Structure 1
Amino acid sequence: MRTLPLRLSPGQDLRRALEAALATEGVRAAFVLSGVGSLDVAQLRLAGAEAPVALQGPIEILTLAGTLSDQGSHLHAALSLADGRVLGGHVAPGCMVRTTAEVLLAALPEWEFRRMADAATGYRELVIRRRDAAQEPPPR
């Protein structure tokens, strides 16, 4: 495991920026260890909902957690609204950074995460595989 600290800037899409950082590093599996910051807009899919709800900022990111891969990410966040209410759910694309987002990733170069259909849940679920030694060597 190696750590990858990131600071996202105003206007960046939180989810897409994390996925882009993973691609830049050539990593196929990572976990979010920590994430805090602020958003102008949040797209959060609440438990059991089919589509995300749009929340207008200012919004504070209290926690960010999840998995990242080149085949898709599964991110959850707890967000504090301007009136102090806290909501949590799945982070969808469209969460736009307000002032900053400070995120620490744990990159796992020897592993790859895949998303495959799971008949039991009806969703594309995480499949964890050790990278084949015959494949290209893991990045740095």
Structure 2
Amino acid sequence: MELRPLRLEPGDDLRRALEAACAESGTAAFVVSGIGSLTRARLRLAAANGETELSGPLEILTLAGSLSADGAHLHMSVADAQGRVCGGHVGYGNQVRTTAEVLVAVLPDWQLTREVDAATGYKELVIRPTSST
């Protein structure tokens, strides 16, 4: 495992930037931690069909998930200026306000993919060792 710190810039789309970082390296990874600020957040709340958009400024309190060639599965909690907290599945359109500082654990000996799981009906994580493992 290799740990890689990343800093995302103002205006970056949080999810797209993390997916791009994984695609560039061509490896599987997990987001270990993330903090920063957003001008807006787009989260899918538990069991909801659509996403909820929150207007900022917002502070990222937690960020975690998996990154693969098939995309990202990320969860995040954010707080607004009154300290109200909301969390859920990270969609596209989470715009970085000043910074997002993310620690990514790269797993060069593993391949992560997403495949439809008959039990859940959703694309779920499938973990396989690479040929060198």
Gaps of 5+ in 1: 134-140
1:73 alignment partner, SS class:
strand
Which structure shows the higher strand fraction? 2
Q: Distance in 1 between matches of 2:100 and 2:61?
A: 11
Query: How big is the shift at 1:46?
Result: 0.2
1:12 paired residue number: 12
Letter in 1 for 2:6: L
1:136 paired residue number: none
1:81 aligns with 2:80: yes
Letter in 1 for 2:73: H
After superposition, residues 36-115 of structure 1 pair within 5 angstroms as 36-115=35-114
Query: How big is the shift at 1:26?
Result: 2.0
Query: How big is the shift at 1:22?
Result: 1.0
Letter in 1 for 2:93: G
Query: How big is the shift at 1:81?
Result: 1.3
2:63 alignment partner, SS class:
strand
2:21 paired residue number: 21
Q: Distance in 1 between matches of 2:48 and 2:99?
A: 28
2:127 paired residue number: 128
Q: Distance in 2 between matches of 1:23 and 1:73?
A: 11
Q: Give 4+ residue runs of structure 1 displaced > 2 Å after superposition.
A: none
Letter in 2 for 1:14: L
Please give the per-residue CA displacement for 1:57-104, whole angstroms capped at 9, x wherever unaligned. Answer: 000000001111011211000110122100110000110000000000
Alignment TM-score, normalising by the size of structure 2: 0.97
Please give the per-residue CA displacement for 1:90-128, whole angstroms capped at 9, x wherever unaligned. Answer: 000110000000000000011011100011111100000
1:32 paired residue number: 31
Task: Supply the RMSD in Å over aligned alpha carbons.
Answer: 1.1
